[in-house]
Amino acid sequence: MERIIPMASTLRPSLSSSLRFSSTTRLGLSHPSRNPCRRFSFLHLGTASPPTQHFDVKVLKSLRKGSNMAVAAAGNIAQASTSPAQDDLLEWVKKDNRRMLHVVYRVGDLDKTIKFYTECLGMKLLRKRDIPEERYTNAFLGYGPEDSHFVIELTYNYGVDRYDIGSGFGHFGIAVEDVAKTAELIKAKGGKVTREPGPVKGGSTVIAFIEDPDGYKFELLERGPTPEPLCQVMLRVGDLDRSIAFYEKAFGMELLRKRDNPEYKYTIAMMGYGPEDKSAVLELTYNYGVAEYEKGNAYAQIAIGTDDVYKTAEAVRLGGGKITREPGPLPGINTKITTCLDPDGWKTVFVDNIDFLKELE
């Protein structure tokens, strides 16, 4: 959806949102004490010449009491009018038509990576676009068409053959019917298996780990037939409860399950827009006592579809996220997007659903 280059943002100057709130209050309401008419009336009454000083004190006390009551009443009205609006926005988020569209990351040799994903992982090359004037190329790969499947968007920046994956990114998940057989096939084609097939620590699901040419890890999970084989993106976070609350409130995701593994000192939470066996999910991992991770410059972002990028941006703000690109159309293709960061700094791009389908056409 946008150019990805190492170590720097390529997003163009932010566009102001038509729904952006005033800096004075959430809904742009002015504070009563800043009303010039109200200030004038207070000054006018205060300059009246009282017969005695005793009378002046009583008048001032009365005026102050009335002023405080007026301010409190106005504050209550503002609060009452703000809360329903926020509730409506958060309710809209839950009903919004959202789906994880693709995950974006950088690679050093595009042709080599495409060959590995198609021959070893069984993906299909869905489309490829070269932007020579911007010096980068994208390739989209997956197990089904982009309008109905979660896919991978690879980015190759001319002349850059190596990236730092960092310690925060975990892995991608692929569901297969036979992990052992898949691992052997990958080995036969020259792939690297970093964890032999076997039950997951603290569970019974058979898994294996492999590594692609750039060092990205893929977890193979043994499952029955599924409409969404590319099924997980795992990211590490410093405060799991904080992240769960954010993704529920700001992204409208559902906490599908949570599992604590005290023996191995980690906890995971599966977040998504549908069941794990039928849709792609976000796996958040908290390692006991670890609050921060190095992001590196290899992994970029997840893209999520939405019916309204403007409302989405306000919901992200309300949920405590940071908008890094104001909602609006991308120059040249007019696809409306907004980008944001979660509490740990992980980036997400929200894309207008209708514009996304138009772009595919």
Catalytic residue positions, numbered: 219
Token reading at 335: 């696809």
DSSP state of 149: S
CA 175 to chain CA centroid, Å, is 23
Burial class (CB in 10 A: 0-12, 13-18, 19+), 25: middle
CB 216 within 8 A of CB 267: no
d(CA 263, CA 58): 70
d(CA 254, CA 58): 59
CB 248 within 8 A of CB 300: no
Pick from 296, 293, 201, 277: nearest CA to 243: 293
Burial class (CB in 10 A: 0-12, 13-18, 19+), 291: exposed
The C-alpha angle 313, 317, 322, rounded to 5 degrees, equals: 90
Angle separating helix axes 53-95 and 309-318, nearest 10 degrees:
120
The H-assigned helical ranges of 254-335 are: 309-318
Cα torsion 164, 338, 131, 228: sign: positive
